Chains A and B, each alone.
Chain A
């Protein structure tokens, strides 16, 4: 077992002002969406409010805070919609 793993983070819209649109993050082996959210808030505190009102998706399925992120997962952070 590895102690660390890499996951891919994808961001959209206003979140791209805080993070690259796609980047890799090295994280602990057992890692939940809630922990990922906390980590991203630490990296960019000014993005906290937007991160907390965003939905997270893995493999085109929305997931919740307790979902465990697996190695090489592609996580999409989806801010509130503003289309139309």
Chain B
């Protein structure tokens, strides 16, 4: 059962799942607060400074935007249904990203932490496998390579 309680949520457009601007993780976390929620999980996929032993300078993400948005929305909705979440959202950034910036953020809110974790992992795994989004790694030696598959 999910009692309906009014709770002031910050105004964020949940349907905006792809952005070319820095992701506001704090706002996403605020949005997930709910009086019935005992656990909120926020995952941030970040740009690390190395991959496969090569030093990474920055990343570039590209998306087939309308389709990526649709697919991410579907994955989030499926998780909300499956785990009966109070709140869930996911945002993936595109364009050029520097080291330690968030490339993708997923937030899930549930009565208990176990379900919040499970649902969060389901969403991030789904995004990585299904959403038409691609990563290009630019290395410090000036070379670059497009990611060929998801991890």
| Residues of A bordering B, CB below 8 Å | 12-14, 17, 55, 57, 60, 76, 78-84
Contact = CB atoms under 8 A, between A and B. Distances in A.
Interface in B9-25: none
A14 B59 CA distance: 14
Interface residues of B, number: 29
Contacts of A82: 133-135, 146-150
A22 to B, nearest CB: 12
Contacts of A79: 134, 146, 148
Nearest 4 Cβ contacts at the A-B interface: A83-B133, A82-B147, A13-B134, A14-B146
Contacts of A83: 61, 63, 68, 92, 103-104, 127-128, 131, 133-135, 150
- Chain B binding site: helix, strand, loop or mixed by DSSP? mixed
B78 to A, nearest CB: 17
A78 B135 CA distance: 13
B70 interface: yes
A25 to B, nearest CB: 19
B136 interface: yes
